[in-house]
């Protein structure tokens, strides 16, 4: 049953807000237009007739009100959303950043985000050792396995001591295997890790959909192949990063020869002596900080690509992805150092969980890391919402879904 034209016109011209919302809903019910099916049918009918009806959007996981175009709601209420139409995060005003941070922390406090982080931590713990086995197997086919263990010192300060010892022991065992078994181990470990690693990746992708408030509309096979691609890409990226960390000291030692090849030795003696002094003095610092810098670069690139291609959405601008990636990478290092220090000096997982203390520490480390990644995703989503005109203070306004408007209307 369609509602009367006078009531529909009054609602469009004077959108309800605050306590007037209840009176408007009562008027709609008395007019017979409260049915979900009638409302969806009227929206499609109005769109076909060219009338100015508010488009329906997908059901957001964080939204509680009726879905409507947030920018139109703001214009109807005569308020301008801070940050609407900003060209980049740099141009976002202070008021927009305040709303973004408020929205981000509000969404992170939801139980769904906590459950998503816990699920990611569980599957990541299950996939850790198969993934390490795959990494060592792939790395051993190309590079010398004896160069792996020295690079583990980079992770010593980021992981809890019991977790680091468990991982280092497993890597030492895999390195001690003969090379012939590594080829068979490659096939076996990839087969075993297929379910666990892809399950971990799929849980991360689902958590990103929650952070960006999007519905999963990709097909089953497309989603499975995406999860496998992300998993294999992470393994290959880790192999490349590990190889660069191993080769980095040799590259630094090769710098003087490289200068000779480019003819830089023909510089004036004063400049040449200064260059030699700086290189001899700073080489050990470059080598010491170079390996962690390469690892951080790998984490930043991985998180950026995950934010770009992980959520189910058609369009994404790199300008609105980089801020969350930078924040997530920085907070990941900070929280890892803090958690490692906490476990080393205050908490004793071994006395509480016994032989499972290392596993519990690893799972908790994954949980904290996942929360940090979701914080970066929520920050990016909040920045995009600000740019598009979303205002959480507008009654009934929720995020405008991209490419899923028809899903909610058909549901």
Whether 120 contacts 204, CB under 8 Å: yes
Dihedral sign for Cα atoms in the order 313, 328, 107, 366: positive
Summarize pLDDT for 283-327 with one digit per residue, the tens: 667 767 777 888 889 899 999 999 988 888 877 778 889 999 999
CA distances to 65, 178, 226 from 70, rounded to whole Å, are 12, 62, 32
Whether 196 contacts 130, CB under 8 Å: yes
Residue 363 CA, chain-centre distance (Å), reads 18
d(CA 70, CA 143): 55
**Which stretches of the chain drop beneath a pLDDT of 70?**
1-83, 85-86, 111, 178-186, 189-196, 252-267, 270-272, 274-284, 287, 389-411
**Residue listed under structure tokens 């930078």:** 326
The pLDDT value recorded for residue 51 is 43
Averaged pLDDT of the chain = 70
Q: DSSP code of 394? A: S
Q: Which two tokens stand for residue 171?
A: 């890597």
Give the count of beta carbons closer than 10 Å to the beta carbon of residue 205. Answer: 22
d(CA 190, CA 183): 11
d(CA 338, CA 336): 5
Residue 161 CA, chain-centre distance (Å), reads 26
Summarize pLDDT for 141-154 with one digit per residue, the tens: 777 777 777 777 77
Burial of 318 (0-12, 13-18, 19+ CB in 10 A): exposed
Element (H, E) at 88: none
The pLDDT value recorded for residue 55 is 40
pTM: 0.65
Whether 238 contacts 292, CB under 8 Å: no
Please state the domain extents for the chain.
Answer: 106-388
The length of the chain in residues reads: 411
Closest to 304 in 3D by CA, of 318, 286, 290: 318
The pLDDT value recorded for residue 334 is 92
d(CA 314, CA 308): 10
d(CA 240, CA 42): 56
């Amino acid at each position: 049953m369609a509602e009367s034209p006078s009531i529909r016109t009054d609602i469009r011209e004077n959108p309800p807000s605050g306590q007037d919302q209840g009176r408007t809903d009562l008027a709609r019910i008395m007019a017979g237009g409260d049915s979900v099916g009638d409302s969806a049918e009227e929206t499609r009918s109005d769109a076909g007739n060219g009338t100015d009806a508010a488009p329906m959007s997908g059901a957001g996981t964080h939204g509680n009100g009726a879905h409507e175009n947030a920018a139109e709601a703001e214009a109807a209420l005569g308020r301008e959303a801070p940050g609407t139409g900003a060209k980049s995060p740099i141009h976002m005003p202070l008021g927009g950043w305040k709303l973004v941070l408020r929205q981000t922390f509000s969404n992170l406090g939801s139980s769904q985000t906590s459950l998503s982080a816990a699920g990611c931590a569980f599957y990541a713990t299950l996939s850790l050792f198969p993934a390490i086995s795959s990494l060592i197997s792939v790395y051993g086919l190309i590079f010398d396995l004896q160069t792996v263990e020295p690079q583990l010192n980079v992770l010593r300060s980021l992981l809890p001591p019991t977790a680091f010892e468990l991982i280092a022991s497993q890597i030492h065992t895999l390195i001690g295997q003969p090379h012939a078994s590594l080829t068979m181990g490659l096939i076996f470990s990839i087969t075993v890790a297929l379910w666990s690693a892809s399950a971990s990746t799929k849980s991360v992708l689902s958590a990103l959909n929650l952070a960006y408030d999007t519905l999963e509309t990709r097909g089953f096979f497309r989603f499975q192949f995406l999860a496998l691609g992300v998993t294999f890409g992470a393994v290959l990226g880790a192999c490349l990063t590990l190889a660069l960390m191993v080769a980095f000291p040799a590259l630094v030692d090769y710098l003087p020869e490289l200068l000779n090849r480019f003819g830089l030795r023909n510089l004036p003696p004063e400049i040449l002596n200064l260059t030699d002094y700086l290189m001899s003095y700073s080489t050990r610092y470059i080598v010491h900080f170079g390996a962690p810098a390469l690892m951080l670069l790998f984490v930043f690139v991985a998180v950026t690509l995950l934010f770009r291609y992980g959520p189910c959405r058609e369009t994404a601008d790199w300008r609105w992805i980089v801020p969350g990636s930078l924040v997530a990478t920085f907070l990941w290092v900070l929280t890892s150092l803090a958690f490692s220090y906490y476990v080393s000096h205050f908490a004793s997982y071994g006395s509480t969980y016994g032989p499972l203390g290392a596993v519990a520490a690893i799972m908790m480390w994954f949980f904290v890391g996942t929360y940090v990644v979701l914080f970066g995703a929520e920050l990016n989503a909040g920045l995009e919402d600000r740019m598009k005109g979303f205002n959480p203070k507008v009654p009934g306004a929720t995020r405008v879904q991209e490419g899923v408007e028809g899903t909610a209307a058909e549901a």
